[in-house]
Structure 1
């Protein structure tokens, strides 16, 4: 077997890519399919919702912490895509709460409908110099972008697998039910200092003394996103060929993130950032096109991950992170759900 090759991705390559990269949204008919977008009420998530509406998905589920915002977004879909005749449903999902995340997954698993696409887009970027823990006792970025996203992925794999056994809609034959974990190109730049800490990796990530700064924490959280995609791709629903899991980079897109930047950096950000519509083309690609299990999608194509991720230390860190995740999940009272997926 050929050893997997990683790559470096310099800030210069990042700027060049944002100035000149060109890629199109796939042309696909999603009639009969159901797509779920977490964090789908605004920004990149809402742009993905609009892509699915334009592709005629029969049902779109928008999930976020605010049902009110979800409902407003659901109504707006019909204004922004007047030709859309499908159903837009809304669900509450708060990844900063394990209890809420579990309830969300249980409700979806009990739903009698299909679930063909999950774009796990919900995530946060910590505010400058802010270390904040959730009610579950974990640093907020670690839980939302890492632990709870991984938990949701494990708990919903059986639903995707069940959908794989149903009749395939005529307009999108060959497409597997797919989970896309939203990652980022910033994972290339993470120094991941906690990977060298003795003892528990998650304890190190949850230690205020090892927080470093908000930029590094966000980069680390996106390494964890890549880890999650690669570990979920090892589970039976994926290795059996029924379900597909990957991770996807939307690129730097215009969003409220710039509100935390100084005026000069914000100006540069606005000069090179893509529209949310362009960034979300990557979501449509990753969730509807055939890719290798665990692949990283960048500019609507499979792209090598960072050299750290594929290095011996990176592989060791990934396996350690996943084992500790499962240890945490086992304490949440969802053993039967975990056993179905694992």
Structure 2
């Protein structure tokens, strides 16, 4: 064979290798949907060993921020943490609703111990300015933060594509970009609370997600936008970003990053479902978890004493993904696509660009330096 034909063959092979992946392969897609169906059918059986509500250790001297805590899983997380003695900050879009909940909980808790240590701070994840201002206000207290639970999320089923005032597709902003910005900007407080944890309430729907880092808003036309595409892509992006953040944080920072799946849960999302799907929800209540049951994986990740050791082991083994806890409170593996290290780093870089942070923001915050963000009070 001539040298020219050899070099031609090598060039062809290189072009194949470098060909950009534009979606999940059909095998990955089928595997993802099979996993979802399996989870729905057997999640209650797999979690049958768990108590409901979950037994938590005393959490006095622990401070937790919980986003989206006025309904569903977040409401259960906030209340159970507070009843176990934690100082809970409800980071919510509707402070009035949160304060009404606190008043109700205090009345129901009266006589059972010290008053619940809960407060409310306003946070709107559809505004990156709001996220940055929240972090600035919290960090200004110069106190410790032990647990950040990024619970708030949206799944606008069947609705047309919408964009935030920041210009980002709403699922991507609420489910990924805003929690990513919040997590990084709160690093100074998390370091003061070390050993601390960042817990991202994810979804098994990330198994059917795909992230195109050149089209995070799904506007290029290469993929047809649906609410399912928006939601599953945002949840996969969150896992990928969390995996890189887990690796970038040095051991001395004492911060562990985890994702958890609550399972398939009866929450406010159901009211946006098509009527036929809502009917299915009512026909198969045995298979669908309640919000209280769905809160268990996040509560486990926030309080189990073996979590730091497990996260450290994954980091030492150079495992490609962060810790992922399933709805039965056992470690599990996120999707095959989540293991794509190259794409994960592209998601990391693109996310930092979109949320207005420099590529070395994490390292500088860990070193105790100030970092500028294009959002919030101290804008560039």
The TM-score, its normalising length taken from structure 2, stands at 0.76
Distance 1:324 1:181 in 2: 19
CA positional deviation for 1:213: 0.9
Question: Equivalent residues in 2 for 1:261-340 (5 A)?
Answer: 261-270=273-282, 271=285, 272-289=287-304, 290-291=306-307, 292-293=310-311, 294-298=322-326, 299-310=328-339, 314-330=340-356, 339-340=364-365
Q: Is the 8 A contact 1:248 1:282 kept in 2?
A: yes
Distance 1:47 1:106 in 2: 27
Deviation digits for residues 165-201 of structure 1, max 9, x if unmatched? xxxxxxxxxxx311101101111122x1x53xxxxx1
1:65 to 82, 93, 101: 93
Q: Is the 8 A contact 2:151 2:201 kept in 1?
A: yes
1:216 to 229, 232, 235: 229
Q: Is the 8 A contact 1:50 1:81 kept in 2?
A: no
CA positional deviation for 1:45: 0.5
2:38 alignment counterpart: 13
Distance 1:155 1:338 in 2: 12
2:182 alignment counterpart: 152
Q: Is the 8 A contact 2:149 2:198 kept in 1?
A: yes
Larger RCO (CA within 8 A; separation ≥ 6): 1
2:254 alignment counterpart: 242
**Alignment of 1:117 onto 2:147:** yes
CA positional deviation for 1:283: 1.1
Q: CA distance change for structure 1 residues 85 and 211 in 2, over 3 Å: closer, same or farther?
A: farther
Distance 1:212 1:269 in 2: 25
Distance 2:204 2:66 in 1: 20
Q: CA distance change for structure 1 residues 12 and 336 in 2, over 3 Å: closer, same or farther?
A: closer
Q: Is the 8 A contact 1:26 1:285 kept in 2?
A: no
Distance 1:286 1:184 in 2: 15
Q: Is the 8 A contact 2:248 2:362 kept in 1?
A: no
Q: Is the 8 A contact 2:126 2:164 kept in 1?
A: yes
Distance 1:143 1:319 in 2: 18
1:43 alignment counterpart: 72
Distance 1:338 1:69 in 2: 37
Q: Residue 279 of structure 2: SS of its match in structure 1?
A: helix
CA positional deviation for 1:62: 0.4
CA positional deviation for 1:306: 0.8
Distance 1:29 1:69 in 2: 27
Unpaired segments ≥5 residues, structure 2: 1-27, 312-321, 368-380
More off after superposition, 47-56 vs 95-104: 47-56
CA positional deviation for 1:338: 7.2
Unpaired segments ≥5 residues, structure 1: 1-5, 165-175, 196-200
Q: Is the 8 A contact 2:36 2:204 kept in 1?
A: no
Distance 1:266 1:86 in 2: 36
Distance 1:304 1:336 in 2: 28
Q: Is the 8 A contact 2:157 2:273 kept in 1?
A: no
2:122 alignment counterpart: 92
Q: Residue 166 of structure 2: SS of its match in structure 1?
A: coil
CA RMSD of aligned residues (A): 2.5
Q: Is the 8 A contact 1:26 1:284 kept in 2?
A: no
TM superposition outliers: structure 1 runs of 4+ over 4 Å: 6-9, 334-338
Deviation digits for residues 133-189 of structure 1, max 9, x if unmatched? 11111111111111111111111122111122xxxxxxxxxxx31110110111112
The structure whose Rg is larger is 2
2:163 alignment counterpart: 133
Q: Is the 8 A contact 2:297 2:325 kept in 1?
A: yes
